[in-house]
Amino acid sequence: MTRLLQVEWVTPNGRSHARVLRLPATVGRGRDCSLVVDDPGVSDLHFRILPDSHDACRIVDAGSLAGIAVDDAPCVEATATPPATIRFAGHLLHLLPARRAQQSVPAGGSLDRDVLIGTVRQRVQQEPDLVTGADAEVVFRQWLEEAILAAGEQPEAHAALIAACLQDLVGLGVIEPLLEDPDVSEIMVNGPRQIWVERHGRIEPTDLQFADDGAVLRAIERIVLPLGRRIDQASPAVDGRLPDGSRVHAIIPPLAIDGPVLTIRRFRNDALDLEALIERGALDRPMAELLGAATACRCNIVISGGTGTGKTTMLNALSELIPTDERILTIEDAAELSLRQPHVVRLEARPANAEGQGAVPIRDLVRHALRMRPDRIIVGECRGAEALDMLQAMNTGHDGSLTTVHANSPRDALARIETMCLMADVGLPHEALRDQVARAIDLVVQLGRFRDGSRRIVEIAELTGREGNVIQLQTLYRWDGATGCWQASGYPPRFRGRM
């Protein structure tokens, strides 16, 4: 069974921090220590805490300059049984006696998953500081093992039960295995009884179920609470992301009539490049060469498509072609882009807090980005008034910028950008606004999703100017469903003169 030690660390200025250390543990200034003390008077490795018999610990000085004292007695090595205090370089580390789990399961009775989980949650309410900043899974495993021992059973015989409890306590419950499945690109929870996934572009049901609405709500809370966000009846919808970058949206009753709804868009650690997209049939080589040339000569490109058509994937692939000596700023509502260039600054919008304060929208971040000397600006998705600021950036020397919009065709994409610019409420005449769009954007790449689950480019269109009140578009490539291949228009791209 894992040996844990509950401690209270008190700094020289009197600030107190509760921690749980897994033995053997190290204390020092070094970043690899179990307890990192950022104080120049503390050695990189100051001392070690080793497990001894029963609840006792061995405290061993690791050759520190300031030395240690155990219960006010200076020493190089000592044995201590909590409660005890280690003094080092003006800091105090109080070793606290372990609090045993109450016997929530009758001795000799059957072990119930819900009862065990309830026991742990009760201890979290009693000792919340012990989990803060610590490895929650290690702490919860210790408490589960103690509860099983209290029931007269051996933890080693209930490894599967412990793993199932930990899924509910620190994971996302029954959908945790789906997050580990590399073929799953999206997870859709429609209340506790319906869980759907997308695999290889096709949506299919699973036989997984949550126990009830409360289990779904707890999974959602475990996602949003570390992000400083909330979800409740006063704020029944929230966006967020998992530690691996996967995008999350949740909405609960009263807005979701049939129970809490959770949607997770998986994040790919291995972002696809254009070569990989060619192999998957998303485009052909001449189109890839065209897009590569457009990116290299700093064309402003809008990637358009419906939900789930692969806009972010295409944006990542095009960004791979940006030279490594350029300063790139990415701006996103929820960070998804994965650029590999060395000089990248990532900005992420922030929603309002529980009091409705502190929101930082994408539009503000675009304005900040313009003051940060960017060579290129990449906006993950234009959804509102930030479209106007993006156009102005494209028209004021920040060529080579990229963004995505939700639209069904290149013409619709331009109309949607105009509509979003009107949301800025700056009083620009439609004529001036349309002129901004025509001058700023060079290419629109339209993506589509097909019945077989495949995603591909359906059109590449170039803006060629205006005739009267209409922006002129010239199709360079278009997908021909009848022949099952792309057709080139034969028109030379106007941006060729920049190459």
Bigger pLDDT: 170 vs 126: 170
The mean pLDDT of 39-50, rounded to a whole number, is 94
Q: Within this chain, do residues 200 and 339 fall inside the same structural domain, yes or no?
A: no
pLDDT value, residue 107: 47
Residues 29 and 279: their CA atoms lie apart, in Å, by 49
Q: Is residue 57 part of a domain?
A: yes
Hunting for tokens 């009830």 — which residue is that?
212
Q: Is the per-residue pLDDT at 376 higher than 70? A: yes
Asked if residue 111 belongs to a domain, the reply is no
- Spatial separation of the C-alpha atoms in residues 318 and 380, rounded to whole Å: 13
Residue 119 domain-assigned? no
Task: Tell me what the pLDDT averaged over the chain comes to.
Answer: 85
Range of the domain at 258: 175-265
CA distance 403 to 295: 12
Q: Calculate mean pLDDT across residues 367-390.
A: 90
Domain shared by 356 and 335, yes or no: yes
What is the number of domains present in the chain?
Answer: 4
Residues 321 and 458 in one domain: yes
Mean pLDDT for 400-409 is 93
pLDDT tens sequence across 223-270: 876 666 778 888 898 887 787 778 899 999 999 998 999 999 887 666
Identify which of 38, 32, 13, 39 has the alpha carbon closest to the alpha carbon of residue 48: 32
Counting DSSP H helices and E strands in the chain, the numbers are 12, 26
The token duo for 50 is: 């080793």
pLDDT digits (tens, 9 = 90+) for 428-484: 888 888 888 999 999 999 999 998 888 999 999 999 988 888 899 999 999 998 899
Is the pLDDT at 189 greater than 80, yes or no?
yes
Cα–Cα distance for residue pair 79/96, rounded to 1 Å = 14
Domain harbouring 239, CATH code? 3.30.450.90
* pLDDT confidence of residue 413: 94
Q: pLDDT grade, residue 133 (50/70/90)?
A: very low
Q: Is the pTM of this model over 0.75?
A: no
Position with higher pLDDT, 122 vs 160: 160
pLDDT of residue 101: 43
Residue 237 domain flag: yes
Looking at the structure, do residues 194 and 332 belong to the same domain, yes or no? no
CA distances (Å), origin 282, targets 270, 288, 378 = 17, 10, 22
In a domain, 187, yes or no: yes
State the average pLDDT over residues 208-226.
83
Contacts of 328 (CB under 8 A, 6+ apart): 319, 322, 339, 341, 343, 344, 345, 374, 375, 376, 377, 378
Instruction: Give me the residues paired with residue 68 across strands.
Output: 75
Please tell me whether residues 322 and 432 are part of one structural domain.
yes
Range list of β-strands (E), 104-217: 184-190, 195-199, 202-205
- The predicted pLDDT at position 106 comes to 47
Helix axes 213-224, 159-170, angle to 10 degrees: 60
Q: What is the pLDDT of residue 98?
A: 63
> Is residue 181 a part of any domain in this protein?
yes
Taking only the tens place, the pLDDT of each residue in 64-102 is 999 999 999 999 999 999 999 999 999 999 998 865 444
